[in-house]
Amino acid sequence: MACGRVEACVGEMGVSRTLITLTIITSLSGFLNGYDSIMIAACMIFIREELKLTTMWHQVIVGTINMTGVVVVLLTGQVTERVGRWKVIVASSVFFVVASVTLASAGSITQLIVARVFFGVSLGIATMIVPVYISESSPTAVRGRIAIVFNLMYAVGQLIASLVGGAFSTVPHGWRYISAAGSLPALIQFIGLFFLPESPRWLFSQGRVEEATDALKTLRAPHAPSETEINAIQVDIRANAGKGGLFMIFKSVPVRRALLIGTLLHIAQPLTGCFAILNYSATIITMTGVADKNNALWFMAAIISGSAFGFIVNEGLVERLGRRPLVLASLMGIIIAFIIVGITFQMAYLHSPTVQAPSGDPECLANTCGECTSKKECGFCYKGAVGSEHDTSCMAADPHSYFQVSVAGSCSNATLIDAGVETFAYDWCPYRYSWIILIGLSFFFFVYYLGMGPLPWVIASEVFPSWARSTSVSLVVTINWLINFAVITSFLTLTETIFKYGVFYLLMGINFMFLAVFYFLLPETSGISLEDMEKLFNKPIGTVNARSSSRVDPN
């Protein structure tokens, strides 16, 4: 049953306004995560020039959040079992405020890294526990739709960050305002959390039955069958009393199978390349030939808006069609998007303008713009519009201007470049069809958020039994952060080593592999209560991949 309005959800699905408030307030963590991913992309195109950052330092500053997140996620699983879900989410919002202020006031590489560490603590906590908290608080019939709000807010955060970035792009030191603005939703979340209950399932697991019952009833509409749900939760907790810890997790066959599925999903998600593309989105857009930084930020906002449409479709289909079909459709779409982007980047390289004037620098000897810009020390200097380039040359780029001008020649004159008389293309070539790349990236964000964006988090938060949930989610999210770190810190280096089109072809191949894996292994989990999920994985994975065979007999 679908409900399109808040009133319908409240009246038909047993959802209370408190649960709706809980979902919105805690999902602000998703907003903050999305805001950060675009905020750092927008800020770095200004910070890298202001602090004269090398590619290595650029990647280290962006990737610091991931290494911090790995450590935090590992610790959070154990901490939440002891102190509950609510307290660690409060801590997450506090860390985000501190991180925003630290970044906004940063004046050195050290301060930037410290700020990114604070962001890593905040978002490491949030990505691990908020989906669990929401899932444990939601009724089975609408659990998927409610859990996806966390990821929907992630997309909203990205879009708002893009708009804020564009608005402050012409303001002196505008990147500081972009960062500081992120503290506002974190403060709103911090205040709102004090009006929300602890996870009722965690309270039941701690033997605090009266508190748990009151919490659950505040999260359900008055007519909802809370007594039935309460009894099912208590039976499940009694049946699993004494279970817990890594040894029991790996000893239990159903949990091992669920852990395999969760792990594969959280390996596949960062290997879509989404987080690297997001963190370097402004940089990638400049690679297509959008040389003006301010325009790059507005293009970034337009491209990321595709994610909102993906979420709208997902929200309508996640319970009706199921998780599995959306994951498979998402991966197929990602493959198509990367084919489009990869081919266009390759055509821009193969059909790039010729170099007419010989270079005085032996490091920049090249016959075409593609050969020239593949050398990280060089850039392509030309006059005229795209398609009618003339007086072209391959010149050494000036690292002191962050490669905006050449060391010598006519493109060393910033005034001529600003006036449009000369163009210095560093890391890109003029190509009349480069706009296809922007369309391909927009399509990528649409299909990514159709499935592979939100559903690994939704599925991981629901497939584990209560006694193993926090620790198991902690493990799979740790793997997600680790792979994200590897992808983000190697992405720009890979574009220099195997070229931009090579990176997208590589990602295409990886996603094709996961499409095959999930076609054979991924079960359907919609419509199954958290207490019955363990029964699903009593069957060998691969035998429950069809929706009809994944329904579980509750008896």
pLDDT of residue 43: 86
pLDDT of residue 552: 47
Lowest average pLDDT, out of 58-72, 180-194, 280-294, 466-480, goes to 280-294
pTM > 0.75: yes
How sure is the predictor about 9, in pLDDT bands with cuts at 50, 70 and 90? very low
pLDDT in tens, 218-272: 998 877 667 888 888 888 888 777 777 788 889 999 999 999 999 999 999 999 9
Q: Report percent pLDDT > 70 for the chain.
A: 92
Q: With both helix axes pointing from N to C terminus, report the angle between 323-350 and 499-521 in degrees, rounded to the nearest 10.
A: 160
Three-state SS annotation for 84-144: CHHHHHHHHHHHHHHHHHHHHCCCCHHHHHHHHHHHHHHHHHHHHHHHHHHHHHCCHHHHH
For residue 149, what are the CA distances in angstroms to 26, 142, 326? Answer: 10, 11, 16
Question: What tokens appear for 507 in the block?
Answer: 């990602």
The one-letter amino acid code at 293 reads K
- What is the rounded average pLDDT of the residues 315-334? 92
- What is the rounded average pLDDT of the residues 519-545? 82
pLDDT of residue 548: 42
pLDDT of residue 187: 97
Between 382 and 172, name the one with better pLDDT.
382
Distance CA 70, CA 55 (A): 23
Between 376 and 10, name the one with better pLDDT.
376
Q: Which of 488, 46, 65 is nearest to 279 (CA)?
A: 488
Q: What angle do CA 51, 55, 57 make, to 5 degrees?
A: 55
How sure is the predictor about 551, in pLDDT bands with cuts at 50, 70 and 90? very low
Report residue 415 CA to chain centroid gap. Answer: 39
Three-state SS annotation for 318-351: CCCCCHHHHHHHHHHHHHHHHHHHHHHHHHHHHC
Question: What tokens appear for 426 in the block?
Answer: 């560093």
pLDDT at 1 > cutoff 80? no
pLDDT in tens, 469-519: 888 999 999 999 899 888 888 887 888 889 889 999 999 999 999 999 999
pLDDT at 373 > cutoff 80? yes
Q: What angle do CA 39, 44, 48 make, to 5 degrees?
A: 165
Lowest average pLDDT, out of 23-37, 136-150, 329-343, 506-520, goes to 136-150
Give the SS3 label for residue 210: helix
Q: Any idea what DSSP says for residue 147?
A: H
